[in-house]
Amino acid sequence: MKCKLCHREAVDEGLCEYHLLALKNLKEAYPRWEEAYGGMEWEEYLKRLLELEETGEWVKDVARMLLDQKSYLHR
Ligand SMILES: [Zn+2]
């Protein structure tokens, strides 16, 4: 099976190792953002990541995917 976001082979959750790692990083960073801003919606968090220049392309791919998949919005 191919990764949903690129042409590499998927290893888990339909994602390749790079996009899987980006997903993991994205999920791990959320509590820190939530705390830093005194509360932030998951969807808002994803949108902000997409706006930041320092966000890596792998993470942006994953954030876009999560925003498209509404079921992911409610953790
Ligand atoms: Zn991929």
Q: What is the pLDDT of residues 15-70, one digit of tens each?
A: 999 999 999 999 999 999 999 999 999 999 999 999 999 999 999 999 999 998 86
The answer to whether residue 5 is domain-embedded is no
Total number of domains constituting the chain: 1
The answer to whether residue 1 is domain-embedded is no
Ligand 1 center to 65 CA (angstroms): 11
* Structural domain boundaries, residue 54: 18-73
As a whole number of angstroms, the longest Cα–Cα distance in the chain is: 40
The answer to whether residue 55 is domain-embedded is yes
Q: Give me the pLDDT at residue 14, please.
A: 94
Identity of the residue numbered 60: K
What's the CA gap between 51 and 48, in Å, rounded? Answer: 5
Ligand 1 center to 75 CA (angstroms): 21
The answer to whether residue 6 is domain-embedded is no
Ligand 1 center to 73 CA (angstroms): 20
Contacts with 15 (C-beta within 8 Å, 6 or more apart), sequence order: 3, 4, 5, 23, 62
Ligand 1 center to 18 CA (angstroms): 6
2 CB neighbour count, 10 Å cutoff? 12
Q: Give me the pLDDT at residue 39, please.
A: 95
The answer to whether residue 52 is domain-embedded is yes
